[in-house]
Structure 1
Amino acid sequence: MTVVILAETTMRTEKTACILCSRNCGLLVDIEDGKFTKIRGDEDHPLSQGYICQKAARLNYYQNNEDRLEHPLKRQTDGSYTRISWDDALAEIASRLLNIRTQYGGEAFATAGGGGQGNHLGGAYLGQMRAAMKSYYNYNSLGQEKTGDFWLNGRLFGSQACHTTEDVEHGDFVIFLGCNPFQSHGIPNARDTLKEIKKDPDRTMVVIDPRRTETAKSADIHLQLKPGTDVYLLSAMLSIIVRENLHDEAFLNEHCTGFDSVKEMLLNIPVDEYVAAADVPMEDVLKVARGFAQAESACVRADLGIQHSNHSTLNSYFEKLFFLITGQFGKKGCNNLHDSLIPILSDTDERNPKFKRSVHHGMFPVSGIFPPNILPDEILKAGDRRIRAMIVDSCNPAVTWPDATAHKKAFESLDLLVVVDVAMTETAQLADYVLPAASQFEKWEFTGFNMEFPKNGFHARHPLFPAKGETLQEAEIYTRLLEAMGEIPKRFPILSRIAKHEPQFSSHLGFIAALAATLATNKKQIRYGASILYRTLGPALGNDAASMAVLLPLTLSLAQKYPDAVRRAGHPGNKLTQGINLFKAILAARSGLIFSEHRFEDVWKLVKNPQQKITLEVPEMLEAMKKLKVDDLTSEQYPFILSAGERRSYNANQIYRNPQWRKVDHAGFMRMHPEDAERLDLTKGDRVKCHSETGSIEAVIEIDNSVRTGYLMMPHGYGSNYQKGSPNGPEINLITGLDHCDPIHRTPLHKSVPVNIEKLSA
């Protein structure tokens, strides 16, 4: 089903949301002749309330660029592409997938991607392809970012689907750990929130970061630690808290188990040695430890700076112990858990034998996700049981995943590679078939990154433009592919008839009953529920909203779990109708809405452990601490530590392909301390070659005293070969390695890459 909107030449104003980071701020956009002409914040949006950063103003570079795909393409033997019809493309892909499934089984197939930032709707339909192929291989970018955090959540809270959030807006004492919200956002209305904390004399802001970031410049205390030493600093501060009896005994006794083992570990921390290793003033360390523990309300906001750094799992463990042993949890201004409407996470604890591991590495999935670091080996080194076919959706791993050279080699060796995307990405340029998807503003879409507490919001974005050329939305692509494979019939006449002719007053109840009866008689079809809803209920929704039908069971489930929270958010009804009412409200709300409003005591209902207690004792972490020693990441061969992936004013995710969107920093410069530059006889603008164990890239030097000596920083989001030209900026993942990763869940250590620098001629 193609979304159809008549082209207009007159200017109109619409409501939508930004798609560049997890915040998805509400937008008011002026549209004329198929283009965004003005973009500003939507004051009616219940979460962002008119807030916007400068990046959103350039969304037209996403919507209209020369790399946009408009027709299905098939790769020829000489490497060129020719147009192919949708029917032929899907028939050929279906036939080849079925042959691979028959010959090699489900472990020969994997998916990569499935939506990112603001386009998670397509992921619900892509997941059906793994079911059809009997595969368990799901790779996506969360697997190289957050699975260490998810793994720990499983150990602490009883499920990897539990996820913590931070009430930065109301905390008296806030620690920003390995993050720079001024640039990377990640918190509500980031720059406004930072200003509010800074100007309030009764609130304290602490930044822990090797660079004096834009956020650090506003902080009361900046612990500018040595790169890769977070584990020493965090464990030392926790030891101080326990030694001085600043931990919350009452909270620990009521809500936690296993503290005695944790306390014993913390008391054995060599505080002086570890603070010296981090190279920060002891006086400031004491202030932060005592201030956080004694604050009325305190929280920690952590991000990739610790999750992509040396000892990343231990870093995240101590980050969470910080707010747990001090009792700064489950209260206003503290860290909390939250509900979720879109289940982007699952619970796949490796201790459960029913969850299969990868063939070559024997790696387990975390939250249903395998780490990209293992993918090339699972394709190239797993022998007869290797991955042979992949669908890559809304993802560009040939540029954005570790060791781009290895990933490209692996993709080129596949028997079948299908890419579904908006643009002709570097990964698409390796594919056998390239299937053009409608852009995020040409179809209904939403984000699954709804992480607020106590109020949580959701924004279903309406299409703003007609689809280009022959592009289709992912719901249609994967439903047609399942039909071509013979996994589902093309028609469900009874369900479609009920959905179309059901009386308005019954509010889909008749359809829901009929669907349940249908699936009860054919349980195999349950795995294809998204496409069945799309084909049956979808057309009856009107307004080209068929793909959104998949939301109905999710709103029903949420209302069953948290009826009081949904009711407080303004969605009435009984056990049968409340979820339906929420579903209808979501489709109607152009600026989004609040879908749940909890009380702070509800946090404990979100803990999945028995007696709803938090398990502080994580054996793997206690064992790792016994082996921990102060180590130096640098060497004579690699004397610098590089942070490979910094957020700046004019870099974003890979959906911006045209480099003209950047007003500044076109080269993606490398930050270097003046002393290091002087020692290497470098000045601003000089070109260097940056070498790691994996590879080398060229970079342009920027002299910057905000970084420590021996520490270098380069941005992500560059390296695309727009219009198949030369890469625009550093191809950062040519120097990040597959084995430079966390030993437990194999997330890459992008923030602590040992490198050396070679000066090139001017």
Structure 2
Amino acid sequence: MMELKTSICRCCINQCSINVLVEDGKVRSVEGNPDNPQYKGYTCVKGRSQGSSLTDPARLLRPLRRRPDGTHESISSGAALDEIAAKIRRIVAEHGPRAVAAYWGTQAAVGSRPVSAPFFDAFFDAIGTNMRFDPNTIDKGGKHVAPSFLGSWGAPLQGFDAPEAILLIGINPWNTYTGLPAGSPRRWLVDQLAAGCKLIVIDPRRTEVAELASLHLQAAAGHDVPILAAMIKVILAEKLFDRDFAAQHVNGLESLTQTLQAIDVQGVANSAGLRAEDIAEAARTYARARRGYAMAGTGPHMTGQGTLVEYFVQVLETLCGRWMRAGDTIKASPSLLPPVRPRAQARAPDAHWALDGRMRMRGLKQSRAGMPVAALAEEILTPGEGQVRVLFSWGGNPSIAFPDQRRVVEALGKLELFVQIDPWYSQSASLAHYVLPPPLPLEVAASSIGTEHLALRAGYGQAMAHSQYADAVVPRPPGSDLMEEWEIFYELLVRMGYPVDVRPWGHPPSSPKIHFDAKPTTEELLTRFTAGSRVPLETVKRYPGGHIFDNHLIVVEAGDPANTDRLDIGHPEMMKMLNEAIKESAEPEDPRYPYRMLCRRANHFNNSTRKAASNKGLAYNPAYLHPEDMLDLGVDEHDEVSISSPLGVIRAIVAPDAHLRRRTVSIAFGHGSPQDPLADPAIFGSSPNRLVATDQSFDRFTGQPRMTNVPVAIRRMGFSAPAEPER
């Protein structure tokens, strides 16, 4: 029997509404849902190909336990959880709770996190460890930390609501699905441009989105901070900023103006390979628009200056008055979360940006972006009090996702207990003591709550109050032993005698926890976790294909007249770092490493998960070079090269990209063999993280190292690669 069922794709942050054709319990096809008012039939190749993953012979259907010889054997989920709980109990008793660490990765974020994160948090809260890590500190951690210096506004930014100008810095929404709202990124952007919106892109590559830009500043990598500072100087000098907003809500204008006196717009342009007139035009275009938003992506954040980049993005937004005001309606009001009460008032910067957690190296601390991922390997390898001995990895792939891969792989091998939650025998799963496979997305119920929650942050989530619920569309494979991620942490809580008290995801810290005496179902969790939401879940369920719930949208309230807090656009710490960044951008290049390695994403790869059904026959990550650089190196397309940094060397296969600036190499992360850096790149891909040092150039607040704009050398390979340097 053939049935057409609606569902929600969970391959990435876009969370497309999809139609799934099911015959006798098997998925025959996945297509976009043309009747959904937000997505209008849009999906990507990853989403359309996910049906094949359900029956992929490489899929794990039962838990695995590592044997003494390093191979794995099947084990029941009950026995695996019993053994894991016993080992954690012993290790915590001997070494304390800090010996236990956890990492949730990007697949957790886009998959089951709204349902599973409450149990994840409850389990590690019960143990008493704050050694919890996530992708924020190797992605865009500065977005979380910058408000500690600027302060924050009690209402969202204008965001996707009728922008007249958009500024995108080092981001390509065609592949990241950020920077433009959920749905078809191209269709939405073309509609805005047709309505008169101006698009400004700053990127060393002429990406697909840059092709549509009104103005593309194709700057040399690593110059984002000076360019932003130069733009702000133009805005201040020409009095293009919102003077009323600044007078009422802003401190630091004089300090910022004085610091920017040292900025020479022409000098910034010369260093970045731009024209000063184009920098000035970008500033004028953005500032003169009545509404708009700016978004910095992984490119500028991965330079090791993420906090500084994000601070100046928010300074730009503040000067241009992009914060929502009293009476403004939040068009993307979340439906399945409790209604918030935004107020049009400032909150002063924090007295201190750090939270309670402390690392044992480089003075790193826990910030609002989380614990610094880049130091986790050292926490495992460094003996002494507080040494990490246990790691849970949920929805991540540390062995190829973390910087300084050689050190990471060594660290994973030293763990007393490494648990990988993974549907595939990934590079990290092959190193784990236990591998616990969860069901795949189409086998479990879900809602759009994750995308709705993101909508309150500029550059993320939705442009409208869309919501959707989806039941599981197919059963789990016969004979499988799979546990949803929340079940794993629920069962561990029970086995270790901890109370099962969880706070729903996306709810404020002051909200009460929910206690469970018995194991619920996923459907029951979604019902309980959405209690008190702006739109009842039962109402959302009446529209299985998704719906815009635009009645009773959230309206920004007036600020408290007694509030005296102000945003600080001239914070002394940030002004000092700006001067340092300007000097660094003008430093001469090391002639031994004349190229700059840039991060890149590919729409047909699901981060480190690579499937033949979606990879268009390209199973590896090419090293893209400008054709003239290929000519200089004496290489043709498909030739092999070695790429080396002071830390290591990798093999890579070349491909041309005429949209790159000269002397750059652009390559996707999340590939390569953790055991052999010089393994055949046509089979395993190449691992740029092997070239990234964690302790040389890094964001002092998040610990995020320089993972793009990395100085490298490239040479044509014969039959052997140069040896890796000694540590």
- Give the alignment's TM-score, normalised by structure 2: 0.85
**Equivalences for residues 67-466 of structure 1 within 5 A:** 67-113=58-104, 115-120=108-113, 121-158=115-152, 167-168=159-160, 170-186=162-178, 187-188=180-181, 189-200=184-195, 202-330=196-324, 351=352, 355-367=356-368, 369-446=370-447, 448-450=450-452, 451-452=454-455, 455-466=464-475
Deviations 1:498-541 (A, max 9, x none): xxxxxxxxxxxxxx9xx9xxxxxxxxxx99956x44836x35xx
Give the deviation of 1:710 after TM superposition: 0.8
**Counterpart residue type for residue 107 of structure 1:** R
Is the Cα contact below 8 Å between 2:156 and 2:323 reproduced in 1?
no
1:689 to 642, 649, 652: 642
> Is 1:709 the counterpart of 2:649 in the alignment?
no
**Counterpart residue type for residue 175 of structure 1:** L
Counterpart-to-counterpart distance in 2, 1:709 and 1:42: 42
Deviations 1:125-163 (A, max 9, x none): 11222112110111111221122111013433449xx89
Deviations 1:28-51 (A, max 9, x none): 111235543222222443532433
Give the deviation of 1:228 after TM superposition: 0.7
Change in 2 beyond 3 A, CA 1:428/1:282: same
Change in 2 beyond 3 A, CA 1:649/1:420: closer
Change in 2 beyond 3 A, CA 1:610/1:356: farther
Q: Is the partner of 1:308 in helix, strand or coil?
A: helix
**Counterpart residue type for residue 452 of structure 1:** A
Is the Cα contact below 8 Å between 1:311 and 1:742 reproduced in 2?
yes
Q: Is the partner of 1:365 in helix, strand or coil?
A: strand
Deviations 1:435-464 (A, max 9, x none): 221122222234624322674444443212
Give the deviation of 1:348 after TM superposition: 13
Give the deviation of 1:318 after TM superposition: 1.6
> Is 1:36 the counterpart of 2:27 in the alignment?
yes
Give the deviation of 1:312 after TM superposition: 2.6
Q: Is the partner of 1:107 in helix, strand or coil?
A: helix
Change in 2 beyond 3 A, CA 1:604/1:177: farther
Give the deviation of 1:234 after TM superposition: 1.1
Counterpart-to-counterpart distance in 2, 1:716 and 1:18: 23
Deviations 1:59-118 (A, max 9, x none): 224433233221122111111222222332222211111111112111111111161223
Counterpart-to-counterpart distance in 1, 2:451 and 2:557: 18
Aligned to 2:47: 56
CA RMSD in angstroms comes to: 3.5
Change in 2 beyond 3 A, CA 1:445/1:534: farther
Deviations 1:175-230 (A, max 9, x none): 22111123322222201022224444x33221111011111111121110011111
Is the Cα contact below 8 Å between 1:361 and 1:378 reproduced in 2?
no
Counterpart-to-counterpart distance in 1, 2:549 and 2:384: 48
**Counterpart residue type for residue 551 of structure 1:** F
Change in 2 beyond 3 A, CA 1:62/1:746: farther
Change in 2 beyond 3 A, CA 1:685/1:17: same
Aligned to 1:639: 594
**Counterpart residue type for residue 662 of structure 2:** T
Aligned to 1:718: 671
Aligned to 1:505: none
Q: Is the partner of 1:384 in helix, strand or coil?
A: coil
**Counterpart residue type for residue 87 of structure 1:** G
Is the Cα contact below 8 Å between 2:412 and 2:418 reproduced in 1?
yes
Counterpart-to-counterpart distance in 1, 2:311 and 2:615: 37
Counterpart-to-counterpart distance in 2, 1:205 and 1:438: 41
Is the Cα contact below 8 Å between 1:31 and 1:37 reproduced in 2?
yes
Is the Cα contact below 8 Å between 2:467 and 2:549 reproduced in 1?
yes
Aligned to 1:730: 686
Is the Cα contact below 8 Å between 2:354 and 2:368 reproduced in 1?
no
**Counterpart residue type for residue 19 of structure 1:** R
Counterpart-to-counterpart distance in 2, 1:85 and 1:203: 57
Comparing 372-381 with 52-61, greater Cα deviation is found at 52-61
**Counterpart residue type for residue 708 of structure 1:** R
Comparing 31-40 with 79-88, greater Cα deviation is found at 31-40
Counterpart-to-counterpart distance in 2, 1:39 and 1:113: 27
Give the deviation of 1:174 after TM superposition: 1.6
Give the deviation of 1:410 after TM superposition: 0.9
Change in 2 beyond 3 A, CA 1:314/1:730: same
Counterpart-to-counterpart distance in 2, 1:443 and 1:228: 43
**Counterpart residue type for residue 579 of structure 2:** K
Change in 2 beyond 3 A, CA 1:665/1:89: closer
Comparing 226-235 with 419-428, greater Cα deviation is found at 419-428
**Counterpart residue type for residue 693 of structure 2:** G
Comparing 627-636 with 291-300, greater Cα deviation is found at 627-636
Aligned to 1:26: 17
> Which consecutive unaligned segments of at least 5 residues does structure 2 have?
339-347, 457-462, 504-509, 720-727
Comparing 748-757 with 665-674, greater Cα deviation is found at 665-674
Give the deviation of 1:706 after TM superposition: 0.8
Counterpart-to-counterpart distance in 2, 1:203 and 1:431: 50
Q: Is the partner of 1:45 in helix, strand or coil?
A: coil
Aligned to 1:535: 518
Deviations 1:244-296 (A, max 9, x none): 11111111122333333223223332222112211111222221111211122
Is the Cα contact below 8 Å between 2:699 and 2:705 reproduced in 1?
yes
Give the deviation of 1:596 after TM superposition: 7.5
Higher-helix-fraction structure: 1
Aligned to 1:476: 487
Q: Is the partner of 2:199 in helix, strand or coil?
A: strand
Is the Cα contact below 8 Å between 1:229 and 1:310 reproduced in 2?
no
- Give the alignment's TM-score, normalised by structure 1: 0.81
Give the deviation of 1:404 after TM superposition: 2.1
Give the deviation of 1:603 after TM superposition: 7.6
Q: Is the partner of 1:661 in helix, strand or coil?
A: coil
Q: Is the partner of 1:252 in helix, strand or coil?
A: helix
Change in 2 beyond 3 A, CA 1:664/1:352: closer
Is the Cα contact below 8 Å between 2:354 and 2:365 reproduced in 1?
no
**Counterpart residue type for residue 267 of structure 1:** Q
Relative contact order higher in (CA < 8 Å, ≥ 6 apart):
2
Is the Cα contact below 8 Å between 1:651 and 1:717 reproduced in 2?
no
Give the deviation of 1:615 after TM superposition: 3.3
> Which consecutive unaligned segments of at least 5 residues does structure 1 have?
1-9, 493-511, 516-525, 560-565, 572-581
**Counterpart residue type for residue 432 of structure 1:** H
Counterpart-to-counterpart distance in 2, 1:583 and 1:117: 20
